[in-house]
A and B are shown apart, each in its own frame.
Chain A
Amino acid sequence: MKAIIIDDERLARKELASLLTDYPDIEVVAESHNADHAKVKIESLQPDLVFLDIQMPVKTGFELLEELSFIPHVIFTTAYDEYALKAFEVNAFDYLLKPIEKERLKESLEKLKQRVKDDEASDKSEAKIENTSGLSLEDQIFVKDGEKCWFVKLDKVSAFESEGNYVRIHFEGNKPLILKSLNNLEQRLSEKYFFRANRKFIINLSWIENMESWFNGGLRVTLKNEMQVEISRRQAAKLKEKMSL
């Protein structure tokens, strides 16, 4: 497993790296002292795991995550502010308190390995091995809306809805807003799984439950969460083509 350690303090990085020498299967491929440097490293090295300090100069760990287009598994490291992590709604992450306990690190790594294994198993069963461009259903994104944070796996997202300069993400009953444009998002998402229904919506194709004819040769799609999205005639043709595959 490839890992990157991100912390602004040299001694803190050193300490963690020395703790990780007990785990030969975890290879520390880079260390970063700030968010911008880390961003470059993450995008180029595509690690499986990052150890991320939250409090850093210029940009915090959260801000780094918001900027990433590729989100590896994250283990937060922090000296004290557990409360910052309480912001997370779903326990889709782990954190370590500095100074780090050996036992606690072991636990975290085991939990992580188990999750990676589960993910791989489900990937195989659904036969989604082929590499498509853009974010697929197995990828996760980091969402921060005010005080709340989520790691959202894209298969949980039913739709993205444009609201002015923001995009509302519909998943598991939550509807946080992120500061992104729908066009920008469309480019990042894999066409295979996501479809631009109209000016306002991108929908997750695997969430479609029902389609019916609508005015002017358009379609009305009902998603599994009972959301209804109208599709214009032009887009409807594209969708029919996609679905008939």
Chain B
Amino acid sequence: MITQFPMSKERLYWTSQFIGWFIYVLLMWILNRLDGKLMNFYFYGNLVTTFVLGVLISHGYRELIIKLNWLRLKIILLIPRVILASAVCGLIYFFIHSLISEVIISGSRPNFKPLEVLQTTLNLSVNFVMWSLLYFLFHFIQNYRKEEIKNLQWQALSTEVELNKLKSQLNPHFIFNSMNSIRALVDENPSKSKDSITQLSNILRSSLLMGRKKVISFSEEIQLVRDYLSLEKTRFEERLKINFKIDERVYNHKIPPMILQTLVENGIKHGISKLEEGGTLSICAENRGSDLYISIENSGKILESGKEEKGFGLLNSRQRLKLLYSDRGSLTIKNTDHNSVLAELIIPEETRVFKINTDLTNKFK
């Protein structure tokens, strides 16, 4: 959302120029009037000259700034340049102004005294320093705002990118092992091998589609998990036992895709597949207030040394919960006292609201 100025930059510049110098001239008029000075033709001529010269010289100064690209300079480098340029502008102003006001308007011969020249030039230079101050201040503020907007957009974008990256981490080891089992099943049990191929297709399809969504319904996720588990059952045979205890009212609750799948996969990979005799995996889901509560319990044990191995999947899930629900969602995992690992997931009803510039997001896809 880059804020567009109501007028073009060029128009804004000229308007500011005219208004700025007009106010300056107006102030001169008021001050002189309060001073009780004579408001004659000479005085008004002087004011008009001041206005025209001010606009023209500062415009020339601006051209110089643009040409030499001073807006890019660091403040330390900029200050001496601005002071020098202001002094030069003041000097030019002084000579032209004297020429016009004294020679043309009053008709007298110019009579420059060095001290007077220095004093007036300094006075005039202050005007140009003020002008520079306004000019650069305006640009700095504008740039700062642009940067800030860009930063916010980047933050939103990287959140989105991060979420996409964290989604859909189907374990390739599982896919190829399943393929291998299915190949053996073709001879042994052709109809079962057909079912397995369908299940594997479903899993691959969901993992591809789900990668594009922020949340999906629990029923979609549990279907994926069921397919996944029946394939693992084909691999592990009697070594894997499965229990489901799911309250029907939770099916429409939205959850981040693959979050349950990842935990179930972890339970098998780090728990049951490590056990000689295999074990049981139980999945339980119910409503708790407006939150969805899911627990996954599997035989096995989390080893302290095994942290690294487990780390990625869990860390990933936790990050996703945090991104989607701030601190309202949670994922805990622990050893129980009867030789099993219990993972508990709490998923709130509403996700955090995202404000993302869609144009920008599309650009990065």
Could you tell me if A97 and B176 are in contact, using CB atoms closer than 8 angstroms? yes
B172 contacts A9, C-beta separation under 8 Å = no
Query: How far in angstroms is the closest Cβ of chain A from B339?
Result: 15
11 contacts between A and B (CB under 8 A): A8-B273, A9-B236, A12-B180, A15-B181, A57-B274, A57-B276, A58-B276, A79-B172, A79-B180, A98-B177, A99-B179
Interface residues of A in 53-82 (CB under 8 A from B): 55, 57-58, 79-81
Chain A nearest CB: distance from B281 CB in Å? 15
Residues in B neighbouring A106, C-beta threshold 8 A: none
Return the contact of B173 from the options A14, A80, A99 (Cβ within 8 A): A80
The complex places the Cα of A109 from the Cα of B188 at a distance, in Å, of 26
- B interface residue count range (under 10 / 10 to 19 / 20 to 34 / 35 or more): 20 to 34
- Tell me whether chain B's interface is mostly helix, strand or loop, or mixed: helix
Say which residue of B184, B234, B275, B276 sits within 8 Å of A14 (CB atoms). Answer: B184
A216 within 8 A of B: no
Interface size range on A against B: 10 to 19
Indicate whether A10 reaches chain B with its CB closer than 8 angstroms. Answer: yes
**Cβ A79 vs Cβ B176 within 8 A:** yes
| Contact status A18-B176, CB under 8 Å | no
Chain A interface residues toward B at CB < 8 A = 8-12, 14-15, 18, 34, 55, 57-58, 79-81, 97-100
Closest 6 CB pairs of A and B: A79-B176, A15-B184, A11-B184, A98-B180, A11-B181, A99-B180
Asked if B148 CB lies within 8 Å of chain A CBs, one says: no
Q: Are B184 and A34 in contact (CB-based, < 8 A)? A: no
Question: Known contacts A58-B274, A97-B176, A98-B176: does B237 contact A10 (CB below 8 Å)?
Answer: yes
In chain B, positions 262-320 with a C-beta closer than 8 Å to chain A are 273-276
Determine the chain A residues whose CB is within 8 A of the CB of B183 once the complex forms: 15, 99
* Secondary structure dominating the interface of A: loop
Whole-angstrom distance from the CB of A70 to the nearest CB of chain B? 24
Given contacts A9-B236, A11-B180, A34-B276, 19 further A-B contacts (CB under 8 A): A11-B185, A11-B235, A11-B237, A14-B184, A14-B188, A15-B180, A15-B181, A57-B275, A57-B276, A58-B276, A79-B177, A79-B180, A80-B172, A80-B173, A80-B176, A97-B176, A98-B180, A99-B180, A99-B183
- Most B-side CB within 10 Å, residue of A11, A18, A79, A97: A11
CB of B327 within 8 Å of the partner chain: no
Whole-angstrom CA separation of A203 from B235 in the bound complex: 48
Nearest chain B CB to A79's CB is how many angstroms away? 4
Cβ contacts B178-195/A at 8 Å (1 or 0 each)? 011101110110000000
Question: Which residues of chain A are within 8 angstroms of B234 by Cβ–Cβ distance?
Answer: 11
B235 contacts across to A, CB distance below 8 A: 9, 11
From residue B270, how far is it (CB to closest CB) to chain A in Å?
A: 11
Least Cβ–Cβ distance between A220 and chain B, in angstroms: 45
Which of chain A's residues has its CB closest to B179's CB? A99
Give B153-184 as 1s and 0s: 1 = Cβ < 8 Å from A's Cβ atoms: 00000000000000000001101110111011
A9 CA / B236 CA spacing, docked (Å): 6
